[in-house]
Amino acid sequence: MSDPLDFLQGVIAPMLTPIHADHTLDLEGAEAFVEWLISRGCVRTVFARSGMGKMYTFTVEETKALGTAVVRAARGRIGVLLGASGEWRTRDRDRTQKPDSERYLAQAVELTQFAQQIGADGAVHVLPEAYVPTAGEPISEATFRYLKTVHDAADIPIVLYQPGGLAPEYRMTPELLRRLLELPRIAGMKVSTSEDAVFGPLAEVVRGTGFALIAGNETYYLRALEQGAVGVIGEGCNVYPEILDALRSRFRAGDYAGAIRAQEDVCRALAIKEGLDGAVIWKQILIRHGVHILPYDRNGVPPYPEETVRQVDAAYSDIRQPHIDIQH
């Protein structure tokens, strides 16, 4: 089997979504953010309409607008993944208010085709807890039918996404994954977990197949690499990608002690913002580093005081800077 697709390896940034104070998309800010990620020199791909970017708040038209802006900014210099799931009925993803299943699937098809049309490298689909099985149908069968439909709708790689809060009955199983591997454009999967019992069985199924298994919890990245993961999608990919890149590089070079130190630095960097909202504080730190975005997020958390931002930035820079120095 061939190696996993190159754009699904290494550091994949689940983009924070730049917005205005009124929660409308800041498309100029999105393009500026893409430029900043490219300038890091170690981010392989950006993931627009990600979980970190509040994917469940997006309409179909907003998804198209953001995807177009990101692909335009990338200009082939960096990979682009576009979140292509349909709309929820409510913007807060109220699980008691699931969308109409057929409408949700039709939107997923539309957005998958759109991702191909604009030149994105892949379309991301959350395992569809919003897609209700028909009477008597197992959830696994409904999931397979949903994913096969979006797979067959376009000629673009499909990346699956199992978020950490997904109900157990909707999670990927080894049996379902074996079936999905028979679909040639099912290319990879982000698994957000820190549990061997969740990640390990899936890693066993895909080992040697060319399927890109991606760590969705950056505190678990080293352990995921040991089991065959090829990349990481985590909030830190937006702000300290150099540490995550160093972790993988050292692991691949056989420098296990160095990889452990990098993993410890990842955990230290995450801990700095404990008690703060990451989507807001990271945007404020990025602004301090010259990224032309605004300090707002759709979660409604107001910007933090400048002194708080300064302290967090200084602490995180102390961890990040040695990895930048080594990289350059």
Residue whose C-alpha is closest to residue 263's, from 288, 241, 243, 237: 243
- The CA dihedral of 98, 46, 34, 25, to the nearest 10 degrees, is 0
pTM: 0.96
- The CA dihedral of 128, 116, 52, 198, to the nearest 10 degrees, is 50
Distance between CA atoms of 235 and 270, rounded to whole angstroms?
A: 9
Evaluate whether residue 1 is within a structural domain: no
**How many Cβ atoms are within 10 Å of 254's Cβ, its own excluded?**
8
Evaluate whether residue 207 is within a structural domain: yes
pLDDT tens track, the chain, 328 positions: 356 799 999 999 999 999 999 999 999 999 999 999 999 999 999 999 999 999 999 999 999 999 999 999 999 999 999 999 999 866 666 666 778 899 999 999 999 999 999 999 999 999 999 888 888 899 999 999 999 999 999 999 999 999 998 999 999 999 999 999 999 999 999 999 999 999 999 999 999 999 999 999 999 999 999 999 999 999 999 999 999 999 999 999 999 999 999 999 999 999 999 999 999 999 999 999 999 999 999 999 999 999 999 999 999 999 998 888 776 5
Task: Give the range of the structural domain holding residue 224, as residue numbers without chain letter.
Answer: 6-327
Give the total residue count for the chain: 328
By the 8 A CB rule, do 220 and 199 touch? yes
Distance between CA atoms of 326 and 307, rounded to whole angstroms?
A: 29
DSSP state of 56: G
What is the number of structural domains in the chain? Answer: 1
**How many Cβ atoms are within 10 Å of 233's Cβ, its own excluded?**
28
Evaluate whether residue 323 is within a structural domain: yes
Distance between CA atoms of 233 and 32, rounded to whole angstroms?
A: 20
Instruction: With H, G, I as helix, E, B as strand and everything else as coil, classify residue 42.
Output: coil
Rounded to 10°, the helix 306-327/256-272 angle is 170
Residue whose C-alpha is closest to residue 156's, from 125, 126, 129: 125
Instruction: With H, G, I as helix, E, B as strand and everything else as coil, classify residue 125.
Output: strand
- What are φ and ψ of residue 149, in 5° steps? -65, -45
By the 8 A CB rule, do 232 and 215 touch? yes
The CATH code of the domain that includes 283 is 3.20.20.70
- The CA dihedral of 14, 20, 22, 23, to the nearest 10 degrees, is -10
